[in-house]
Structure 1
Amino acid sequence: MMRGIDHVGMTVPDMEEATTFFKQAFDAEVCYDVQRPEQEPMQGEEVEQQLGLPSGKTIIHMRLLQIAKGPTLELFQLGTPTDQEPARISDLGLHHFAIYVDDMQEATQRFKDAGGTLLSAPHPLAGVEDGPRNRGVYGVTPWGSLIELIAYPDGIDYPDGSEAKRWTPPA
């Protein structure tokens, strides 16, 4: 009945800047625009109810991007100020997504070259994710959203009783 995660949504301050970042950092490709900036903004009671938008907020641009073989990334640009800064791990709710990479050194360099900032150097993964070549690192986009780069080529040491295997994008 359930197939899996279709897309992840993210609000960005500037659609073109965000699209350029995702293209440069992750070879993202534009699928299509749901809402184009030349159209009348999405606004009003019906939109607020459907999307859970606070009263008076407008959406001026919505775009779907594809990054390799994972879920689609749906970007939103508001025509009104956002309510808060990007979420961090200490905040409730969704706060980051991870991109599986085959070459951590190249991926981190591309992330930085695209304007992102790494929070540390790539580091070993912990616990059941530990392995000689398994690595991860968090970084922030130019507008402050958190993204993780991760690789676990040595696999996961699943504990007895695991109900499922972790989904990993195909090579």
Structure 2
Amino acid sequence: MPSASPGVRGIDHVGITVPDLNVATAFFIEALGAEVLYDSLEKGQPPQEGADLQRRLRFLSGSSIRAMRMLRLGNGASIELFEYTAPEQRPPARPNDLGIQHLAVYVDDMDAARARFQAAGGEVFSSPHELPALEQGPGNAFCYARAPWGTLIELITYPSPQPYEQQTALRRWKPPQRG
């Protein structure tokens, strides 16, 4: 099997469709400390729509993009928010549905991150759980949460070495500390 594709550096951004761009932006700022980079399409500008865009993005006929915004999230991939109008919008995918099911955000302080997420209007499902098997170590933990519009977000931390590291020279990507 070939190694990484030539020129591939990693994930640049994750796109999330939200019901209200400004409400979602406020949530990401309050809950996760995101910063607004720029608006690709501001509310009030003519929406992006039409047959050509429908072909390029494969979205449902009659849909239009009302607003787009890029957020910076720590030292990791950016988050691109989309506000669509569409004749039929489905609820967010459940973990057992096909496709991308959640976004994981690395945090240094799990308790503070959980509290901040809840204070911003998100739902935290449980107390932190130890990471499983080959990821275990003191302080290595995760918990799942839901943004107000339904997107699943995993809060994760692994400050300690993980057992899988004894089996391979490859390592998970871990965002560097901001500073």
Residue 163 to residue 56, structure 1, CA distance change in 2 (3 Å): farther
Find the aligned partners of 1:15 and 1:129 in 2 and give their Cα distance: 35
Q: CA RMSD in A?
A: 1.4
Find the aligned partners of 2:45 and 2:37 in 1 and give their Cα distance: 18
Aligned to 1:128: 134
Find the aligned partners of 2:124 and 2:132 in 1 and give their Cα distance: 19
Find the aligned partners of 1:132 and 1:99 in 2 and give their Cα distance: 19
Counterpart residue type for residue 16 of structure 1: N
Percent of aligned positions with the same letter in both sequences? 46
Counterpart residue type for residue 121 of structure 2: G
**Contact kept? 2:60, 2:86, Cα under 8 Å:** no
* Correspondent of 2:83 among 55, 77, 82: 77
Alignment of 1:51 onto 2:61: no
Find the aligned partners of 2:20 and 2:88 in 1 and give their Cα distance: 12
Q: Following TM superposition, where does structure 1 have runs of at least 4 consecutive aligned residues deviating by more than 2 angstroms? A: 79-83, 159-164
Find the aligned partners of 2:109 and 2:173 in 1 and give their Cα distance: 19
Which stretch shifts more, 158-167 or 102-111?
Answer: 158-167
Structure 2 counterpart SS, 1:158: helix
Aligned to 2:43: 37
Counterpart residue type for residue 69 of structure 1: N
Equivalenced residue count is 171
Structure 2 counterpart SS, 1:95: coil
Find the aligned partners of 1:39 and 1:116 in 2 and give their Cα distance: 30
TM-score normalized by structure 1? 0.95
Structure 2 counterpart SS, 1:25: helix
Residue 83 to residue 163, structure 1, CA distance change in 2 (3 Å): farther
Residue 49 to residue 14, structure 1, CA distance change in 2 (3 Å): same
Structure 1 counterpart SS, 2:9: coil
Find the aligned partners of 1:142 and 1:81 in 2 and give their Cα distance: 22
Counterpart residue type for residue 23 of structure 1: I
Aligned to 1:60: 66
Aligned to 1:147: 153
Residue 16 to residue 82, structure 1, CA distance change in 2 (3 Å): farther
Residue 159 (structure 1) shift = 6.0
Find the aligned partners of 1:162 and 1:121 in 2 and give their Cα distance: 31
Find the aligned partners of 1:106 and 1:157 in 2 and give their Cα distance: 26
Question: Please, which runs of 5 or more residues in structure 1 have no aligned partner?
Answer: none
Find the aligned partners of 2:8 and 2:73 in 1 and give their Cα distance: 22
Aligned to 1:158: 164
Find the aligned partners of 1:26 and 1:157 in 2 and give their Cα distance: 29
